[in-house]
Chains A and B, each alone.
Chain A
Amino acid sequence: MDKLIIKDFDLYYDDFHALKDINMNIAENEITAFIGPSGCGKSSLLKSINRMNDLVEGCKITGEILLDNKNIFDKDVDVNQIRKRIGMVFQKPNPFPMSIYDNIAYGPRTHNIKNKAKLDEIVEKSLRDAAIWDEVKDDLKKNALRVSGGQQQRLCIARCIAMKPEVILMDEPCSALDPISTTKIEDLIHKLKNDFTIIIVTHNMQQATRVSKHTAFFLNGEIVESGLTNRIFIEPEDKRTEDYITGRFG
């Protein structure tokens, strides 16, 4: 079943045509990677899927993005509900300047879960699922900004999955981290795919091959080629894809 269907989708930042006629299906419970050089539009597409682009002045879209066959841009859609179902992990870890506990509990509290026992349960489960429980369990009151960059990112992932989203969008989640943290997060992503549909934007092609099942290659706002990761990287159909993955540009 396709979790997300992107149909005839165009995006403009004022006059700049950032995404051109995107058509793509995202499979459920799979990991899909968006790759491509800087400025190719992959992050813009990602931010459209959870409608974060609504916040950007001058951004206009045409076309549809269907979540379980319903267009997320329909007038009767509550955008906050979309963002509850489609979570996001940002490039630079951005935990709130609050305690670890309050960070994780923020999402559930926003959606009206107030019972302390229930919140405790959610916080622990999310931290466990994000593979960081053991490192922080002794001091959940600690300010989240005091832990290392890699831990902050795993906290952000825990905060995201505490909402029990159906889709997780990751915008170059490891680019600000050291290699060891990167490995930890990649392992985490593998674990997560069983319960979530994941789309990851990455600059790092090795990461794409390590982590994703499907890959889409973007260039100048268009999808040049998409399909199984294994195939794309071993037998790319388009010359531009081949040039990119062999490092001739980008």
Chain B
Amino acid sequence: MNNFKSYVIRFLVKVSALITFGALFFIIGYILYRGVPSLRPSLFEFKYTTTNVSMFPSIVTTLMLVFSTLILVTPIGVFTGFYLIEYAHRGNKFVEVIRITTETLSGIPSIVYGLFGMLFFVYRLDFSYSLIAGILTASIMVLPLIIRSTEEALIAVDDSLREASFGLGAGKLRTIFRVVLPVAMPGILSGIILSIGRIVGETAALIYTLGTATKMTDGLFSSGRTLAVQMYVLSNEGLHVNESFATGVILLMIILIINGLSTYLSNKLTKGRID
């Protein structure tokens, strides 16, 4: 291969990276550029009206949804991780099945989750469009994420720690909670934070479960809309373009903070790993 071919390859590789990161920064930059000037206090008014299209109710709804979902799904996901890594033996059929179902769950599109949530929670269980329907649907959606990050975090913990604990006569449960979990915590937290990002960004799954009501949710069985759903409704209507941009800005800010936290925690995981 001569110098020309090498040059072409290096060029192509750099241009591709430029396109990728260029697109990212342009998207973020443009949303900020159009959205920040449109941020007004009335966008944060307590009550939503069709004139102020306030984000405040949807922000509150989003927070309630995220918080409740995490409370429900974190123990389930983390305990699943415990079973898969700390208890199950290699080649266990049950474990295989769980792995396959978890992988499959993570590939299902949000619209299918939304429809399922609607058919099961909203109709069959008669919850109608409600916070609880949204919570349950969102929980199933992020369950694979929590399971996977817990698994990875647990695997990264050196076996010698466990052996030391057992050698001192501690039981499995104590070893897991007192010795392994603290070390695995950053990785697990990282997964939880990514789940927050997923829930915050979700639209299709929530439109058909939580619903699109404009007031903030005030009970498990009340409907509401999250920030992302709000942005979708606004964009679709096509009337409040500037406000849509403003909503986008808030969404981006949330995602930026979430990702920043997640990166920080992942770095802690690498540093704290015992090699």
Chain A residues with CB under 8 Å of chain B are 110, 112
Contact = CB atoms under 8 A, between A and B. Distances in A.
Nearest to B2: A112
B1 interface: yes
Interface residue SS majority, chain B: loop
Contacts of A110: 1
Nearest to A110: B1
Interface in B1-34: 1-2
The contact size tier of chain B is under 10
A79 to B, nearest CB: 12
B201 to A, nearest CB: 39
Interface of B: 1-2
A103 to B, nearest CB: 17
A110 B2 CA distance: 8
3 contacts: A110-B1, A112-B1, A112-B2
A228 to B, nearest CB: 42
A185 B34 CA distance: 70
A147 B159 CA distance: 34
A156 to B, nearest CB: 21
A68 B2 CA distance: 24
A110 B1 CA distance: 5
Nearest to B6: A80
A198 B39 CA distance: 74
A112 B2 CA distance: 8
Q: Which 3 A-B pairs have the closest CB atoms?
A: A110-B1, A112-B2, A112-B1
Contacts of B1: 110, 112
A13 B1 CA distance: 31
Contacts of B2: 112
A112 B1 CA distance: 6
A106 to B, nearest CB: 11
A209 B248 CA distance: 75
